[in-house]
Amino acid sequence: MSYLTGKVVVIGLGLIGGSLAKALRTRGICKTVIGYDRDEDELAAGLRLGIIDEAATDLLGAVEVADVVVLAVPVKAMETVLAEMLPALRPETIITDVGSVKGNVIRAAQELFGSVPNRFIPGHPIAGSEKSGVAAADATLFEHHKVIITPLPQSDSDAVTLIARMWQSVGAEVLQMDVERHDEVLAATSHLPHLLAFSLVDTLAQEQDRNDIFRYAAGGFRDFTRIAASDPTMWHDVGLANKTAILQKIDEFTTGLAQLKQAIETEDSRAMLGIFTRAKAAREHFS
Ligand code: NAD
């Protein structure tokens, strides 16, 4: 049997790290999948559930033997983990990550290494759910989903190819994007909707008759707010790491909402129907 690579070390064995580890192992893509997590229970569960071949209790020991290191920790922890693993990193080891924001991890690598190593290939799977933790790991999570990789001009082309093939081998479609463009696009399509869902549910939860509101909530509320059950730490980190692009999108959204508010206030049916008709057409085109 020929493997894509030898030892893949997944740091952060939660939903995304666990799902990738499970997919790599189930499909026999690499020789060994080693997991590392600062939470010993998650690590033990990963081993028990057959998601990894080996559980590493020593980060440096694991990184030292890695052919590929996948950083799958929360966005703000990327920097800490990169710094911690630095002493054990061999020049030939390929590093990638799965963070929802790309600019911050690239800046962290630049500060830490002096320049971004040519074998660090940042990535972001556009797949996931409101669940977290290794117990939610799903080997099919990335199938028919996109993964964006954001290589830099100095990136090693063999490393780019290997990371692209790793994601393709677990069923994903791989796209390449510029780092700034990635963070702008994701602020609009993922970060803003999550923040709106959190904000809406939080606002409603503070109302005195909130039990009634939630009891009578129908499908629309459920659809719109499912993602408000996502992990608070993850979204705290994303909010700060992609601050500039997110604030820009919040401003644009606020302007749009104010226009709708004004149209309702002034009973401007033409403006209201204009907004709804344009949005309906855009949404139908998208699905
Ligand atoms: P998760 O909470 O399920 O897992 C994160 C894991 O990292 C946990 O097991 C935690 O114990 C571990 N961890 C945290 N800090 C650590 C450290 N310093 N050292 C070692 N382990 C540490 O989170 P997740 O949903 O799998 O998200 C992981 C990454 O994937 C994040 O960067 C997130 O932005 C990105 N991402 C998430 C989704 C999603 O829908 N959940 C989608 C795409 C990308």
Phi, psi of 69 (to 5 degrees): -110, 130
Angle value at C-alpha 73, between 71 and 77, nearest 5 degrees: 105
216 pLDDT more than 90? no
Rounded percentage of the chain residues whose pLDDT exceeds 70:
100
Q: Are residues 168 and 186 in the same domain?
A: no
Quick one: pLDDT at residue 212?
A: 78
Residue that terminates a domain, selected from 159, 177, 195 = 177
| DSSP string over the chain | ---SEEEEEEES-SHHHHHHHHHHHHHT-EEEEEEE-SSHHHHHHHHHTTS-SEE-S-HHHHHHT-SEEEE-S-TTHHHHHHHHHGGG--TT-EEEE--S-SHHHHHHHHHHHSS--TTEE-EEEE---S--SGGG--TTTTTT-EEEE---TT--HHHHHHHHHHHHHTTPEEEE--HHHHHHHHIIIIIHHHHHHHHHHHHHHTSTTHHHHHHT--HHHHHHHGGGGS-HHHHHHHHHHTHHHHHHHHHHHHHHHHHHHHHHHTT-HHHHHHHHHHHHHHHHHH-
pLDDT of residue 138: 98
Q: Kindly give, in sequence order, each residue whose CB lies less than 8 Å from that of residue 133, ignoring residues fewer than 6 positions away.
A: 14, 15, 18, 42
Are residues 157 and 19 part of one domain? yes
What is the rounded average pLDDT of the residues 5-25? 98
Q: For residue 129, how far is its CA from the centre of ligand 1 (angstroms)?
A: 12
Q: What is the pLDDT of residue 1?
A: 67
Residue 124 pLDDT greater than 70, yes or no: yes
- 110, 116 contact by CB (below 8 A): yes
- Residues present in the chain in total: 287
Query: Do residues 228 and 280 both lie within one domain?
Result: yes
When pLDDT is cut at 50, 70 and 90, the band that residue 218 belongs to is: confident
Q: Does residue 172 share a domain with residue 198?
A: no
CATH of the domain at 112: 3.40.50.720
According to the model, what pLDDT value does residue 99 have? 97
Let me know: does 24 contact 33? Beta carbons within 8 Å.
yes
Could you tell which of 19, 20, 98 is best to mutate to test the pocket of ligand 1, judged by most ligand atoms within 8 Å of the CB? 98
Q: What is the mean pLDDT of residues 110-128?
A: 96
- Mean pLDDT along residues 229-258: 97
For tokens 């399509």, name the residue: 189
Mean pLDDT to the nearest integer, 196-203: 96
How confident is the model over 275-284, as a mean pLDDT?
Answer: 97
> 69 and 157 in one domain?
yes
pLDDT over threshold 90, residue 287:
no
17 C-alpha vs ligand 1 centroid, how far in Å? 7
Is residue 2 scored above 80 in pLDDT? yes
Query: Worst-scoring range by mean pLDDT, 150-154, 190-194, 204-208, 280-284?
Result: 204-208
For the segment 184-190, the average pLDDT, to the nearest whole number, is 98
Query: Do 25 and 138 fall within a single domain?
Result: yes
Q: Are residues 18 and 124 in the same domain?
A: yes
pLDDT score for 219: 84
Note the pLDDT of residue 130.
Answer: 86
Q: pLDDT digits over 47-106, tens only?
A: 999 999 999 999 999 999 999 999 999 999 999 999 999 999 999 999 999 999 999 999
| pLDDT at site 34 | 98
Among 44-58, 144-158, 166-180, 196-210, the minimum mean pLDDT is found in 196-210
Supply the range of the domain harboring residue 145. Answer: 5-177
Q: What is the pLDDT of residue 211?
A: 79
Question: Which amino acids bring their CB within 6 angstroms of ligand 1?
Answer: 11-17, 37-39, 42, 72-75, 77, 80-81, 98-100, 124-125, 128-129, 132-133, 231, 234
Nearest to 182 by CA among 104, 83, 259, 251: 104
Total domain count, the chain: 2
Are 160 and 18 in the same domain? yes
Whether 112 and 22 map to the same domain: the answer is: yes
CA of 110 to the centre of ligand 1 (A): 22
User: What pLDDT sits at residue 172?
Assistant: 98
Reported ipTM: the value is 0.99
Nearest residue by C-alpha to atom 1 in ligand 1? 14
Q: Examine the pLDDT at 209 and tell me if it is beyond 80.
A: no
